[in-house]
Amino acid sequence: MLVIHVIERSVTLTYTDVHIQRLLFFQSLFEHWAVRWEDTTRAPTATWRTVSPPVRRQETTANSEAGLTDYLAFLGSRLAFLIDWNRARKRLRLLLPKRETMALLKWAADQTSGTWRGYVPAASS
């Protein structure tokens, strides 16, 4: 589940995933942006014993409208990587060990030259 709230120039992104590896991959895509992630997962209580998937919340505020547009364009391009992540991971793990598979997926996402679906983000000024 992914929820994005935009109020003026502030963006709050809430993301939960049953696959912690995919959640951590998604979080890692934002390391070069001034965002902070918060773990909002609730610990199990005596009445609620099941462990729910981890929930992360990211908050950022852009300095300008252009900065907001750049961030949202970047976020959209990272969603394309997230959508195809599991399929690419499964195919690559036939060729590479797990650690190298994850490193290759991260490298591909960081290149900003496109995604598996062919999206090419606009150049930032």
Q: Is 112 helix (H, G, I), strand (E, B) or coil?
A: coil
Among residues 84, 74, 77, 81, the alpha carbon closest in space to that of 11 is found at 74
Angle in degrees, CA 109, 110, 115, rounded to 5: 35
Q: What pLDDT score was predicted for residue 112?
A: 64
- Where are the domains positioned within the chain? 2-42+53-110
d(CA 57, CA 40): 7
**Rounded to a whole number, what is the largest CA-CA distance in the chain?**
53
Q: Which residues pair with 59 in a beta bridge?
A: 12, 36
E strands within 1-125? 2-7, 10-16, 36-39, 55-61
Q: What pLDDT score was predicted for residue 56?
A: 85
pLDDT along the chain (125 residues), means of 10: 90 87 87 81 57 80 88 85 82 88 84 49 43
Q: What pLDDT score was predicted for residue 120?
A: 42
Sheet of 10-16: strand order equals 2-7, 10-16, 55-61, 36-39
**CATH code given to domain 2-42+53-110:** 3.30.1360
d(CA 77, CA 120): 8
φ, ψ of residue 73 to 5 degrees: the values are -65, -40
Q: What pTM, to 2 d.p., does this model score?
A: 0.70
Q: What pLDDT score was predicted for residue 6?
A: 92
